[in-house]
Amino acid sequence: MTRSTPGRTCGRLGRAAGTLALLVVGPGACAGEKKGESSRAPIVVGNVAPRFAALSLAGDSLVVGDAGNGVTLLNVWATWCTSCREEFAELERLRVTHSSQGLRVVGVSVDQGTDLKVRKFVEAQQTNFSVAHDAESRITSMYGVGGLPTSYLLDASGKVLWRAVGDFRLDSAGLANAIRAALP
C-alpha cells in the first residue's frame, strides 16, 4: 500500500513538452530540477526492490535491495528539498530507536553535481546512518521514484513492506506496524 502525505512532497518528476521538469506540488514543496526521470513503474509494497549499490559518504560499500542486508529503511532525498531536510531528524530517531533490533537506515541523495552540499548537510545533522550520493539519480530510475522524499522499508530478503512518498513521522502507524512486523 502506497502512502502519500498531502502537501508535504517536494516535487514530482514528469515530462513537459518532451523535456524533464520538476512539478512542484503542495504548500512547502521544494523547488528545483531533477536530472533523470523515472523510467519504470514505481516499486510498491510487495515488490522485491532492485539491487542498488554505491559508496557511502564515508567510503564504505552501501547496498540495498539485496537479500541478507537485514531490515532496511531506504530514504531517497535531496538537500534542496525542504521536506527531505526536515525528515532527516526522523530518520536518525528511527536509527536510534530500532538499530539495536536490527534496523538499518540508509539515505541516498540525488543532488546533482559534487557531494559537497550533501556532506555539509549530513555533517551538520550529526547523523549516524549511512548516506550515499547518487549524482546521476540512478536510484530514481531503478525504483520509479516520482517525488521526494520517497522512503521504503525493506525486509531482510529485499521485499518492500512499506513505502511513503512525502515525509513521514516516526509515529506513523503504517511505518510503526511495518517495523514491528519486520524486526525480530
pLDDT bin (cut points 50, 70, 90) of residue 45 is very high
Q: Which domain holds residue 11?
A: 2-182
Say whether pLDDT at 27 is over 50: no
CA distance 93 to 12: 26
Residue ranges of E strands in the chain: 2-4, 11-16, 19-23, 52-55, 61-64, 72-77, 104-109, 130-133, 147-148, 150-154, 160-165
Show Cβ contacts of residue 173 under 8 Å, excluding neighbours closer than 6 positions: none
Percent of the chain with pLDDT over 70: 79
Mean pLDDT within 48-72: 95
Name the β-bridge partners of 56: 132
Q: What is the pLDDT of residues 125-139, one digit of tens each?
A: 999 999 999 999 999
pLDDT bin (cut points 50, 70, 90) of residue 37 is very low
The tally of domains found in the chain comes to 1
CATH number for the domain spanning 74: value is 3.40.30.10
How is residue 170 written as a grid cell? 516516526
**pTM for the model:** 0.81
